[in-house]
């Protein structure tokens, strides 16, 4: 696999000729409907095993090896007698690196409303699917959801369905008071657990995913007690327990989102920990990358102080945001799909740029009212950079929020680097 960044003068056909692959495959793999409208700076996934590469002005063996995720020695071995002094126009063979040998766990959060076509296309790339969500009431009862249309195809595809419970108030969002009512009452906690067991047994779930957010710091020990009680009840029944935790860059990080999430305790009791390494750029926040690599890596390093690496699933966002500038506190950014971000850049004639520190793409444009916008999103380059952290830190795998839209380049990049674990 190659990730090609579109340059001025590139066409689908010139790119296809450069890498020796059919143009139609590039179009399909990158969801390009109009081959005549590439976006400058757009990242294209090119699937190929061995590339006959034409050397360009300024190329070196090192730069070519870096572009193709291989080594200088691999290139030299594939081209006996090749000199280090390359000449423009020279054609060399660049071999496949043989990646894709390590198997990792891949989780995807899905709403029950996910389109069946998207679900069908995505399931081959998953180990687990977390169906979002059963909302817990203050009395421990659960608000039901129509999850059978997701569970059944998942099981048939060999993907393990996880039941998600949340402290989302009915008709609203995550609620601290609701969490306190649930976690602070042992009888309510037991009621929740028994309702979870009944639901998982009835619906044929594989395990439980607990996503309690904005828990009061004063409920930290109550949350720990709940987690201990859940695992003591579910593990003997053969169910797994996963928890989703806020992205801390310090184990003692202050703030309502962070303090009640006890990394060490969750790392001891849960089978998997999903680090929600996204939402630095968020709906009501300052424009910035949704998941800047430098901060994602800091969260992982923090978590590894107290959580075994083989339990950690790194969160990856499958969306971006479009902010109106200048940013004003209290105004909302518009959520945008990854395919939609590229389409928007194409329609407004924007050039996509890439922030090297955040390892994230972005672009600016003016709308029909003359207002300036900035869009931050994910592409094949930013996803590949994040996926490299899985190997670097020997993590269990990754978790996507959400899989309700299908971005084919993501899965092609993932498949080029790892195999997908199966537990069913």
Give the active site residues: 213
Nearest to 342 by CA among 21, 114, 77, 30: 30
C-alpha 208/C-alpha 230 separation (Å) is: 9
190: three-class secondary structure by DSSP: helix
Is the torsion defined by CA of 259, 263, 269, 271 positive or negative? Answer: positive
Residue in the structure block whose two tokens are 């699917």: 129
C-alpha 38/C-alpha 343 separation (Å) is: 10
Which own/partner pairs from 71-74 qualify as long-range (CB within 8 Å, at least 24 positions apart)? 71/97
Collect all residues with Cβ–Cβ distance below 8 Å to 111 and sequence separation of at least 6: 131, 132, 402, 404
Question: Which DSSP string do the residues of 353-393 spell out, in sequence order?
Answer: EEETTTTEEEEEEE-TTS-EEEEE---HHHHHHHHHHHHHT
Element holding 397 (H helix, E strand) = strand 397-401
Burial zone of 108 (CB within 10 Å; 0-12 exposed, 13-18 middle, 19+ buried): buried
CB 335 within 8 A of CB 321: yes
* Helix-, strand-, coil-residue percentages of the chain, each rounded to 5: 35, 25, 40
């Amino acid at each position: 696999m190659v990730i090609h960044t579109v340059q001025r003068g590139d066409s689908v056909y010139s790119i296809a000729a450069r890498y020796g692959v059919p143009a139609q495959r590039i179009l399909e793999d990158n969801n390009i409907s109009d081959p005549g409208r590439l976006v400058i700076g757009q990242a294209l996934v090119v699937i190929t095993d061995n590339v006959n590469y034409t050397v360009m002005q300024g190329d070196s063996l090192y730069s070519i090896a870096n572009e193709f995720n291989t080594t200088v020695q691999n290139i030299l071995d594939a081209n006996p007698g090749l000199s280090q002094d390359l000449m423009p126009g020279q054609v060399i063979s660049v071999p496949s690196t043989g990646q894709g040998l390590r198997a990792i766990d891949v989780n995807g959060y899905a709403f029950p409303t996910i389109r069946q076509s998207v679900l069908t296309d995505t399931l081959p790339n998953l180990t687990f699917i977390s169906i979002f969500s059963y909302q817990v009431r203050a009395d421990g009862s659960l608000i039901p959801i129509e999850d059978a249309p997701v569970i059944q195809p998942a099981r048939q595809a060999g993907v393990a369905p996880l039941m998600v419970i949340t402290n989302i108030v009915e008709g609203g969002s995550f609620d601290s008071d609701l969490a306190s009512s649930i976690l602070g009452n042992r009888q309510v906690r037991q009621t929740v657990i028994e309702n979870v067991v009944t639901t998982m047994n009835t619906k044929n779930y594989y395990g439980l995913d607990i996503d309690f957010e904005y828990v009061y710091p004063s409920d930290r020990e109550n949350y720990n007690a709940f987690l201990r009680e859940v695992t003591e009840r579910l593990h003997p029944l053969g169910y797994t327990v996963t928890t989703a935790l806020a992205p801390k860059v310090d184990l003692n990080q202050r703030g309502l989102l962070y303090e009640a999430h006890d990394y060490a305790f969750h790392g001891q009791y849960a089978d998997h920990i999903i680090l929600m390494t996204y939402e630095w750029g968020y709906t009501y926040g300052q424009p910035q990358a949704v998941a800047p690599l430098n901060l994602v890596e800091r969260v992982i390093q923090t978590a590894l102080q107290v959580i075994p690496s083989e339990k950690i699933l790194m969160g990856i966002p499958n969306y971006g945001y479009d902010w109106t500038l200048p940013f004003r506190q209290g105004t909302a950014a518009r959520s945008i799909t990854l395919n939609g971000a590229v389409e928007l850049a194409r329609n407004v004639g924007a050039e996509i740029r890439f922030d090297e520190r955040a390892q994230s793409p972005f672009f600016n444009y003016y709308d029909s009212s003359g207002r300036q916008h900035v869009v931050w999103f994910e592409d094949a380059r930013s996803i590949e950079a994040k996926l490299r952290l899985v190997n670097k830190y020997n993590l269990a795998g990754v978790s996507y929020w959400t899989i309700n839209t299908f971005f084919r380049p993501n899965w092609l990049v993932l498949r080029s680097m790892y195999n997908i674990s199966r537990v069913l």
